Amino acid sequence: MDAGTRRILVVAGLWTFGLLLVVGKLYQVQIRQHEFYKEKARSYIEHKRTMQAARGTISDRNGEPLAVDLMHYSLAAKPAQLVEKRAVARKISKIINESYDDVYSKINNKKSFVYLAHRLTPEQAAQIRDLSDKGLLLERKFSRSYPFKEVGAHLVGYCDNDNKPGAGIEFSYDEYLHGKDGSSIFLRDAHGGQFPSMDLPTREPQNGKHIETTIDIVYQGILEAELGIAVNQHKADNGSAVLLNPRTGEVLAMANYPQFNPNEYSKYPVKNFKNQAVSDLYEPGSTFKMVSL
C-alpha cells in the first residue's frame, strides 16, 4: 500500500470517527435525553402562576362567621420591563399611598423581580390594571380574619401570615378548609414579557369547604366574660369552662383563660393558644357523682 492510499484511509477513518461522534451525540441529546432538554427549554419560555384557593368559613350554629378569608392583592414589578420608571412611580405612589421616592428606589434597580406593596384592596388593584403596564404584576391572595377577635379563639384557632393553620379547628380540619390551589401557564417572549398560553390548560382553584359548629357565639361571649371574672377574683393562673346542651350533649360554648386575639396571634405566648378544656387533666370532682352513685 503506497503512501497516498494510506493517507486517504487515515482521512476517511478520521472523518468516519468524527461522523460517529456527531451521530452518537445526536442520539444522546434527541433520544436518550429528549425529555430532559424538553423540560429545560420549557422552563425558559413557560411560567407557572399559582392561584390561591380561599379557605372555607367557620361559623357558629346560627351562621355567624367565626373565621373568614379576606381577599387582597400584592403588587410586584419587573424593573427591566418598566420604560418610564419615574412616571410609573408617580402613578403607583398615589394608588398605594406610598412616597414617590420609596417606590422609585424599588423599581430603579437591577433586580428581576421586586414587591412594591401588599394587602391592596380590589379597588386599588383595579387602578393598577388600568395602567396597562406589562412590567407590573398583581397577585391575588387571601388572609384570615376573625370577626369576634378573642371570643372563641381557643376553639377556632388561628392561621399565620401565609394562611397556614396553627391551632384549633383551623388546624384539625385543615384538609376540609384548605381547598386546592389553581394554576395558569404564561409564556415568556424574548424581552421577558409574559402572556397567557391559549394551548396550555388553566386549573381553577377549588375553594375550601365551610364548617358549621355547635357553638353559639352569644353564649360563648357570656361564658368567657364570666370565666375571666372568676379567674381574676380567685387570683388563679388560668381557667376553663364548658357549656353543654343537656339533652343532646352539644357543646354550646367552651372557654379558656387567658385569652388571645387570633388576628394578632404573634403578640401572644404560645401557651395562650392551648385549649386547656380538652387537653389538660383535671380532677372530675362532683361531675363524677353520677357514676359513683
The catalytic site residues sit at 286
Single-letter code of the amino acid located at 4: G
Q: Is the dihedral of CA 146, 151, 152, 154 positive or negative?
A: positive
Backbone phi and psi for residue 17, each to the nearest 5 degrees, phi listed first: -65, -45
How far is residue 203's CA from residue 182's CA, in Å, rounded to a whole number?
5
Residue with cell string 379597588: 123
Written as nine digits, the cell of 252 is 354550646
Residue 131: CA atoms inside 13 Å, Cβ hemisphere, count?
Answer: 25
Alpha-carbon distances, residue 64 vs 58, 60, 69, 216 (angstroms): 9, 5, 14, 9
CA 58 to centroid of chain Cα atoms: 18
Alpha-carbon distances, residue 9 vs 36, 95, 176, 270 (angstroms): 39, 77, 75, 83
How far is residue 154's CA from residue 160's CA, in Å, rounded to a whole number?
15
How far is residue 255's CA from residue 277's CA, in Å, rounded to a whole number?
8
How far is residue 129's CA from residue 261's CA, in Å, rounded to a whole number?
35
Alpha-carbon distances, residue 166 vs 134, 141, 262 (angstroms): 37, 19, 10
